[in-house]
């Protein structure tokens, strides 16, 4: 890994605050240490952002905003295009770092960097398509249209499980919209944040642009709170747990700021008796154990129609028996470790609760102490949708197998949780599929057919309903959340007619 660290500009003790080319912060004062979940060893430390540094970042961000918002959008897109090129060049080392620091397997680490590249490409195109509508006025010699203006500094709070991609969804779109970005990455993956910041700032340094367009701060809850309370930040986009989102939402709403929240999921796949069961099993395995069950989009509940329940269960038992768990950097591994000891404990506690509530763990769940680090065997459990533990999101590879009788009941169970991020149906029957996608079907932000709940492409709007938070990031028209809409009415005539036909008499 030494070579990767050198290529990405990461040392043992690192600065944690950046306004672009300037990196500052002294790890000697207070720092967050990063550990690889593979064997728990400390791999470096990053200085925490202190309040005065945070305020300096905000000053520079506001000054940069003044210049950046007046930079033509396609020109902003050109900078983002170059960031995409730079990411292509550093895809291999950055993907390795993601894998090493976060614990997801190398293929997924590389996939994450690819997701950054994809959203950069998308944003470049978007920079020429920040379209507003024109309307026909009800008054003669009047014209109406709407235009989209940049919003200001956008605060991005991202989570450990996607330490680089989710930042890029926000940052690349915000940047072409003319916003500047203040990023607080997860304190569990500070080296990934630093590496990305170095890549981006190298691109900016080639241009005559002010510092403060892309900014990095490092810290825990405290720094997140500064951001949430900061009236200089009109929009906070936060990814993480539901309690975290609730507190950010309260804080930002109390100052009437805006949020995009991408919080917990409790995603289900509905498998009917008309499904291709071979495909179902493959999709379920990737969806449940990908990123060791630590995606917001992970399949947590497999709702299976009674007649095929046993067959699906047996196929999964077979697939789970042969899974290769271990070093995420080893190309043969399909599942790496959980992020830390707490995650392992939470998984163990959840497995106990399944039993207490009357469910049965039919495969896996063991802690693999012999591997060192935070490795576990993924678990399969037969459960009921109504179990309290099933209603919660446990960020670990536990897949609940839950039977249902009719499709209507299957859909009701799919919707019968407080979260609403992603969902899927496996069926070859067009009627069943359309029912799942209808207004009475899935209540989630994402509803897939014959693919799992995870692995969304950046081209779609990403986000969910209910306690997932309701925000949308990435593709489609998610860019609109990063801008402010202005309606303009222009009178080019000689008279002053009033709307609604009002005769004011003066």
Catalytic residue annotation? 262, 296
Residues 125-164 that bind ligand UN1 (CB under 6 A): 161-162
CB of 201 to ligand UN1, least distance (A): 25
297 lies in the binding site for ligand UN1 (CB under 6 A): yes
Q: How far apart are the C-alpha atoms of 186 and 34, rounded to whole Å?
A: 10
455 lies in the binding site for ligand UN1 (CB under 6 A): yes
- The single-letter DSSP state of residue 74 is H
Name the residue nearer to ligand UN1 (CB basis): 9 or 455. 455
- Could you tell me if 462 and 456 are in contact, meaning their C-beta atoms sit under 8 angstroms apart? yes
Name the residue nearer to ligand UN1 (CB basis): 198 or 301. 301
CB of 449 to ligand UN1, least distance (A): 15
Name the residue nearer to ligand UN1 (CB basis): 296 or 398. 296
Q: Kindly indicate which of the ranges 97-105, 117-125, 171-179, 294-302 contains the residues binding ligand UN1, using the contact rule CB under 6 A.
A: 294-302
Q: How far apart are the C-alpha atoms of 175 and 368, rounded to whole Å?
A: 44
* SS3 assignment for 273-327: CCCCHHHHHHHHHHHHHHHHHCCCCCEEEEEEEHHHHHHHHHHHHHHHHCCCECC
166 lies in the binding site for ligand UN1 (CB under 6 A): yes
Among 454, 468, 475, 482, binds ligand UN1 (CB under 6 A): 454
Q: How far apart are the C-alpha atoms of 4 and 191, rounded to whole Å?
A: 12
Name the residue nearer to ligand UN1 (CB basis): 26 or 392. 392
- Could you tell me if 102 and 192 are in contact, meaning their C-beta atoms sit under 8 angstroms apart? yes
460 lies in the binding site for ligand UN1 (CB under 6 A): no
Q: Kindly indicate which of the ranges 101-109, 400-408, 409-417, 453-461 contains the residues binding ligand UN1, using the contact rule CB under 6 A.
A: 453-461
Name the residue nearer to ligand UN1 (CB basis): 122 or 148. 122
Among 268, 354, 456, 478, binds ligand UN1 (CB under 6 A): 456
Token pair, residue 7, equals 């290529």
Residues 38-57 that bind ligand UN1 (CB under 6 A): none
239 lies in the binding site for ligand UN1 (CB under 6 A): yes
DSSP annotation string for 89-102: HTHHHHHHHHHHHH
DSSP annotation string for 128-154: T-----EE--SSTTEEEEEEEEE--EE
CB of 78 to ligand UN1, least distance (A): 26
- Could you tell me if 329 and 96 are in contact, meaning their C-beta atoms sit under 8 angstroms apart? yes
DSSP annotation string for 465-506: EETT-S--EESTTGGGGGEEEEEEEEE-SSS-PPGGG-----
CB of 296 to ligand UN1, least distance (A): 4
- Could you tell me if 196 and 169 are in contact, meaning their C-beta atoms sit under 8 angstroms apart? no
CB of 152 to ligand UN1, least distance (A): 25
Name the residue nearer to ligand UN1 (CB basis): 162 or 482. 162
Spatial CA neighbour of 352 closest among 344, 361, 343: 361
Name the residue nearer to ligand UN1 (CB basis): 294 or 363. 294
CB of 134 to ligand UN1, least distance (A): 35
Among 295, 300, 315, 472, binds ligand UN1 (CB under 6 A): 295
With CB under 6 A as the rule, give the number of residues binding ligand UN1.
11
Token pair, residue 329, equals 């950097």
472 lies in the binding site for ligand UN1 (CB under 6 A): no
Across-strand partners of 24?
A: 17
Cβ–Cβ contacts within 10 Å for residue 314, how many? Answer: 12
| Interface residues toward ligand UN1, by CB under 6 A | 115, 161-162, 166, 239, 295-297, 454-456
């Amino acid at each position: 890994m030494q070579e990767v660290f050198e290529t990405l500009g990461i040392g043992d003790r690192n600065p944690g605050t950046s306004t672009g080319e300037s990196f500052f912060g002294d790890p000697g004062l207070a720092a967050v240490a990063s550990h690889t979940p593979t064997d728990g060893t400390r791999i470096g430390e990053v200085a925490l952002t202190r309040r005065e540094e945070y305020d300096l970042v905000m000053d520079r961000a506001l000054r940069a905003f003044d210049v950046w918002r007046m930079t033509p959008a396609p020109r902003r897109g050109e900078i983002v295009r170059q960031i995409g090129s730079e990411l292509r060049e550093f895809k291999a080392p950055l993907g390795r770092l993601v894998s090493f620091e976060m614990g997801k397997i190398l293929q997924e680490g590389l996939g994450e960097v690819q997701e950054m590249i994809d959203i950069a490409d998308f944003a470049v195109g978007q920079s020429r398509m920040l379209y507003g509508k024109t309307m026909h006025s009800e008054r003669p010699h009047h014209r109406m249209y709407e235009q989209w203006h940049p919003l200001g500094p956008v605060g991005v709070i991202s989570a450990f499980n996607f330490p680089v991609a989710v930042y890029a969804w926000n940052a690349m779109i915000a940047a072409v919209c003319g916003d500047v970005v203040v990023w607080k990455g997860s304190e569990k993956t500070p080296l990934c944040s630093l590496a990305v910041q170095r890549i981006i700032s190298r691109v900016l340094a080639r241009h005559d642009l002010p510092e403060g367009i892309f900014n990095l701060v490092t810290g825990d809850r405290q720094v997140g709170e500064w951001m949430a309370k900061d009236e200089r930040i009109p929009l906070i986009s936060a990814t993480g747990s539901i309690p975290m989102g609730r507190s950010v939402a309260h804080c930002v709403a109390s100052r009437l700021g805006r949020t995009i929240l991408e919080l917990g999921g409790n995603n289900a796949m509905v498998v009917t008796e008309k499904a291709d069961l071979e495909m179902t099993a493959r999709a379920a395995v990737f969806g449940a154990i990908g990123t060791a069950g630590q995606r917001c989009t992970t399949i947590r509940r497999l709702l299976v129609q009674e007649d095929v329940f046993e067959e699906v269960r047996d196929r999964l038992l077979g697939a789970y028996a042969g899974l290769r768990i271990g070093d995420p950097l080893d190309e043969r591994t399909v599942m790496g470790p959980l992020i830390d000891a707490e995650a392992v404990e939470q998984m163990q506690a959840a497995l106990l609760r399944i039993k207490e509530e009357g469910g049965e763990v039919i495969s896996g769940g063991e802690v693999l102490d012999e591997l060192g680090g935070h490795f576990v065997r993924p678990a399969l459990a037969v459960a009921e949708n109504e179990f309290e533990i099933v209603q919660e999101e446990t960020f670990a590879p536990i897949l609940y197998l839950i039977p249902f009788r009719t499709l209507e009941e299957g859909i009701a169970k799919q919707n019968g949780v407080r979260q609403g991020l992603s969902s899927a149906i496996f069926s070859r029957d067009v009627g069943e599929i359309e029912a799942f996608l209808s207004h009475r079907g899935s209540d989630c932000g994402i509803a897939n057919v014959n693919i799992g709940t995870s692995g969304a492409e950046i081209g779609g709007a990403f986000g969910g309903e209910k306690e997932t938070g309701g925000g949308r990031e990435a593709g489609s028209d998610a860019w609109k959340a990063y801008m402010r809409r202005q309606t303009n009415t222009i009178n080019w005539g000689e008279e002053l007619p009033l709307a609604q036909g009002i005769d004011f008499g003066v």
